[in-house]
């Protein structure tokens, strides 16, 4: 048997504090999740009468889920998922096209105003977001996009400084000899971009897409301002609508809705966590 | 008309003159090496020949065509880059055929040329691999294959061996030499490595500070460098330069030497002046003390395997001489030497030009 290092009382105390604090933090995170899961299986009466942390009487009571997925009145939550997915899909495609092209141009070409352009993107971060909604709304109204999902597509597809910097960082690491070689072989700038640079940017694109999808999925403010009609609403808005206007809906049903909203992100996280970690570090360390 | 001709080519970046009045020619089948220390403009010159760098003075002709105003793709040149510039997301086969795809060559023709190049470069088994799965030497062969299939007039190489380790560098150099002898393709090759220049070139263009120092065959460059820079840049260890005086009769004194130089080593009649006597390390012979022209005090000995390089000093100046690997020499010894003066080079101390 391997000899173990002796544990002094001082070290033991440190261990207890370390693990104790972690256990407390874990409970703080997991308890709400537990009570949500438990609540989603309770009947409305049971939900009011039992403690939040108590397990449901019947783990197979799917009535709440049925109400969320197939409501008698109003739109099913699937509709909100469709809206969110559509907005996400359009916005992310546009973002990748705009962002990568912009990064390509900023990194590979030297032209007057190049630094100014990048600087403007960076400076926009400094503008407090509380200042812009009114004018943004007016612009979108002028474009005839206000009060529709397309307003959200337009707003989400704009490349932000973080995405651009991630793309620029990756493009910078692609040797310009690749471009030169392709030019000698007869490729145009568009061919160089679409056939060589864009495929080589795949890791950066994955990073940006994940970050942006997480943001779009979680965002509440923009959908609330621009797409509050039920037929236009995103997942976050539909969840909000369950709580707000109609008090007739049981809290237990809301719990079921919350679980349904969490599930896709959870599944997504398990499949994509490698990219998410990579994305966050590349954004913070290199970007 | 020569196959490749540069006429009075100059290039400035802002106020910095990168290349000044470069003219040289190469015949079909030549292997021209642009040699020089880093920053001498050799890579810029190569980029001007490809057309990747624009806006220069002078004219460039390739295979009888004036290509000065043509885009890179229309110059019928192919280039192997320092990093090889392989497309990392494409297989070896797709890497080689990329240019042909861009130019809409029929599929059958593309496949035929890829196979032909793969056969010539022993890449047949690697066609489905990605560049990341290849060794340095294999990557270079792919880069060369990409050039071959384009059937260019002119092959260009930009320091292609600088990323390889010493052993592979030697092997690849030999491979390049074989390839050139087989294909007889006219080639322009940039390097700062004198070994590569000496072994590969049929013609060396030695550059310094954006200007041509000398154009010569490797052997001529070694034996008859035009000036001190050319003499010191070629040769390893570098040539010994002994400062001293030359009198009108051709007698040299300095650095512990007092010798009569043979008239045959002078290009022009030399008057009395301050000079530097250039003596290659291999031109020294160790002799009995009574026959010595010079005795050096040995500081240290560098064995290279085949030879010993003996570093010492005489008359306040450092001297390196080559000795056989069996010679029994140690630091602190006094070594009597005799120089093969018919191989000596004499440089004007002020201008550095060879006399």
pLDDT digits (tens, 9 = 90+) for B191-249: 999 989 999 999 999 999 999 999 999 999 999 999 999 999 998 889 999 999 998 88
Each residue of A8-31: pLDDT tens digit? 888 899 999 999 999 999 999 999
Residues A39 and A117 in one domain: no
Which 101-130 residues of chain B touch chain A by CB within 8 A? 102-103
Residues A128 and A206 in one domain: yes
CA distance A237 to A244: 10
CB pairs under 8 A between A and B: 59
Could you tell me if residue A69 is inside a domain?
Answer: no
Question: What does the pLDDT read at residue A62?
Answer: 87
Residues A82 and A216 in one domain: yes
B169 in A contact zone (CB under 8 Å): no
Across chain A, mean pLDDT equals 86
By Cβ distance, the residue of A177, A191, A199 closest to B102 is: A191
Q: In chain A, which residues have their Cβ closer than 8 Å to the Cβ of B99?
A: 182, 185-187
Residues A121 and A31 in one domain: no
Residues A37 and A130 in one domain: no
Across chain B, mean pLDDT equals 90
Instruction: State the CATH number of the domain containing residue A262.
Output: 1.10.3720.10
B150 in A contact zone (CB under 8 Å): yes
pLDDT (average), residues A77-102: 92
Residues A17 and A84 in one domain: no
CA distance A262 to B246: 92
Q: Give A284's pLDDT tier (boundaries 50, 70, 90).
A: very low
Q: Which CATH superfamily is domain B4-232 in?
A: P-loop containing nucleotide triphosphate hydrolases (3.40.50.300)
Report angle CA B295, B296, B302 to the nearest 5 degrees: 140
Q: Give A278's pLDDT tier (boundaries 50, 70, 90).
A: low
Q: Which residues contact A1 (CB under 8 A, 6 or more apart)?
A: none
The distance of B90 to chain A (nearest Cα, Å) reads: 9
Each residue of A122-178: pLDDT tens digit? 888 888 878 888 888 888 889 888 888 888 998 898 878 888 988 998 999 899 999
Could you tell me if residue A164 is inside a domain?
Answer: yes
3-state SS of chain B is CCCEEEEEEEEEECCEEEEEEEEEEECCCCEEEEECCCCCCHHHHHHHHHCCCCCCEEEEEECCEECCCCCHHHCCEEEECCCCCCCCCCCHHHHHHHHHHHCCCCHHHHHHHHHHHHHHCCCHHHCCCCHHHCCHHHHHHHHHHHHHCCCCCEEEEECCCCCCCHHHHHHHHHHHHHHHHHHCCCEEEEECCHHHHHHHCCEEEEEECCEEEEEECHHHHHHCCCEHHHHHHCCCCCCEEEEEEECCCCEEEECCEEEECCHHHCCCCCCCEEEEEEECHHHEEECCHHHCCEEEEEEEEEECCCEEEEEEEECCEEEEEEEECCCCCCCCCEEEEEECHHHCEEEECCCCEEC
Pick the CATH number of B237-348 from 2.60.40.1930, 3.20.20.70, 2.40.50.140, 2.60.40.1250: 2.40.50.140
CB pair distance less than 8 Å for B50 and A184: yes
Could you tell me if residue A66 is inside a domain?
Answer: no
Q: In chain A, which residues have their Cβ closer than 8 Å to the Cβ of B52?
A: 180, 183-184
Domain interval for residue A83: 77-286
Could you tell me if residue A68 is inside a domain?
Answer: no
Residues A54 and A89 in one domain: no
CB pair distance less than 8 Å for A180 and B78: no
Burial of B52 (C-beta count, 10 Å sphere; 0-12/13-18/19+): buried
Q: Residue A218: helix, strand or coil by DSSP?
A: helix
How is residue B1 written in tokens?
Answer: 């008309």
What does the domain layout of chain B look like in residue ranges? 4-232, 237-348
ipTM score over 0.85, yes or no: no
Each residue of B75-94: pLDDT tens digit? 999 999 988 899 999 999 99
Q: Residue A272: helix, strand or coil by DSSP?
A: helix
Q: What is the pLDDT along chain B (355 residues), one digit of tens a residue?
A: 899 999 999 999 988 989 999 999 999 999 999 999 988 999 999 999 999 998 889 999 999 899 999 999 999 999 999 888 999 999 999 999 999 999 999 999 999 999 999 998 889 999 999 999 998 888 988 999 999 998 899 999 999 888 778 888 888 888 889 888 888 889 999 999 998 999 999 999 999 999 999 999 999 999 999 999 999 999 888 999 999 999 888 899 888 888 998 888 888 877 888 999 999 999 999 888 888 888 899 999 999 888 889 999 888 888 999 988 888 888 888 999 999 999 999 999 888 899 8
Q: In chain B, which residues have their Cβ closer than 8 Å to the Cβ of A177?
A: 81-83, 85
Q: Could you report how far apart the first and last alpha carbons of chain A are, in Å?
A: 49
Question: What does the pLDDT read at residue A161?
Answer: 86
Residues A184 and A253 in one domain: yes
Could you tell me if residue A166 is inside a domain?
Answer: yes
* pLDDT exceeds 60 at position A286: no
Residues A136 and A255 in one domain: yes
Residues A56 and A146 in one domain: no
> How many structural domains are present in chain A?
2
Residue of B nearest to A174 (CA): B85
């Amino acid at each position: 048997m391997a000899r173990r290092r002796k544990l002094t009382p001082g070290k033991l105390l440190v261990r207890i504090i370390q693990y104790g604090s972690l256990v407390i933090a874990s409970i703080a995170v997991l308890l709400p999740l537990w009570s949500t899961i438990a609540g989603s299986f309770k009947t409305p009466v049971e939900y009011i009468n039992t403690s939040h942390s108590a397990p449901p009487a019947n783990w197979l009571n799917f009535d709440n889920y049925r109400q969320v997925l197939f409501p008698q009145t109003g739109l099913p939550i699937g509709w909100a998922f469709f809206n969110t997915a559509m907005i996400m899909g359009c916005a992310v495609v546009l973002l990748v096209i705009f962002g990568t092209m912009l990064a390509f141009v900023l990194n590979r070409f030297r032209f007057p105003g190049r630094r100014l352009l990048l600087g403007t993107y960076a400076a926009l971060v400094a503008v407090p977001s509380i200042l812009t909604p009114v004018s943004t709304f007016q612009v979108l109204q002028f474009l005839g996009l206000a009060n529709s999902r397309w307003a959200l597509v337009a707003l989400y597809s704009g490349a932000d400084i973080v995405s651009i910097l991630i793309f620029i960082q990756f493009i910078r690491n692609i040797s310009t000899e690749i471009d030169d070689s392709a030019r000698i072989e007869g490729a145009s700038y568009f061919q160089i971009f679409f056939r060589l640079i864009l495929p080589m940017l795949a890791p950066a694109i994955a990073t940006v897409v994940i970050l942006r999808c997480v943001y779009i999925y979680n965002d509440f403010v923009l959908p609330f301002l621009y797409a509050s009609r039920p037929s236009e609403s995103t997942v976050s808005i539909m969840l909000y609508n369950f709580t707000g206007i109609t008090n007739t809906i049981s809290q237990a049903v809301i719990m079921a809705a919350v679980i349904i909203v969490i599930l896709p992100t959870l599944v997504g996280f398990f499949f994509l966590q490698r990219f998410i970690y990579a994305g966050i570090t590349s954004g913070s360390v290199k970007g | 008309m020569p196959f490749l001709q540069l006429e009075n080519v100059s290039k400035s970046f802002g106020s910095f003159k990168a290349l000044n009045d470069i003219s040289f020619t190469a015949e079909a089948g030549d292997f021209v090496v642009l040699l020089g220390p880093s920053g001498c403009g050799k890579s810029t010159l190569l980029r001007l020949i490809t057309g990747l760098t624009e806006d220069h003075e002078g004219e460039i002709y390739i295979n009888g065509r004036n290509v000065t105003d043509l885009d890179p793709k229309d110059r019928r040149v192919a280039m192997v880059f320092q990093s090889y510039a392989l497309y990392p997301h494409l297989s070896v086969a797709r890497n080689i055929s990329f240019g042909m795809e861009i130019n809409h060559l029929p599929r059958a023709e593309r496949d035929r040329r890829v196979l032909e190049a793969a056969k010539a470069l022993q890449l047949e088994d690697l066609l489905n691999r990605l560049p990341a799965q290849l060794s340095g030497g294999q990557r270079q062969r792919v880069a060369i294959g990409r050039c071959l299939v384009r059937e260019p007039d002119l092959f260009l190489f930009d320091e292609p061996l600088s990323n390889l380790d010493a052993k592979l560098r030697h092997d690849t150099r030999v491979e390049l030499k074989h390839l050139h002898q087989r294909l007889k393709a006219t080639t322009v090759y940039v390097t700062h490595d004198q070994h590569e220049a000496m072994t590969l070139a049929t013609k060396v263009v030695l550059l310094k500070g954006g200007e041509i120092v000398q154009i010569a065959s490797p052997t001529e460059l070694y034996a008859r460098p035009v000036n001190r820079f050319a003499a010191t840049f070629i040769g390893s260890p570098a040539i010994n330069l002994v400062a001293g005086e030359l009198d009108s009769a051709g007698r040299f004194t300095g650095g512990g030497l007092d010798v009569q130089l043979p008239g045959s080593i002078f290009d022009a009649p030399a008057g009395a002046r301050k000079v530097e006597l250039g003596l290659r390390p291999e031109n020294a012979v160790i002799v009995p003390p009574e026959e010595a022209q010079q005795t050096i005090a040995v500081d240290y000995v560098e064995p290279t395997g085949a030879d010993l390089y003996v570093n010492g000093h005489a008359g306040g100046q450092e001297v390196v001489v080559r000795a056989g690997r069996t010679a029994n020499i140690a630091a602190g010894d006094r070594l009597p030497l005799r120089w093969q003066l018919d191989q000596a080079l004499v440089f004007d101390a002020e201008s550095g030009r060879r006399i």
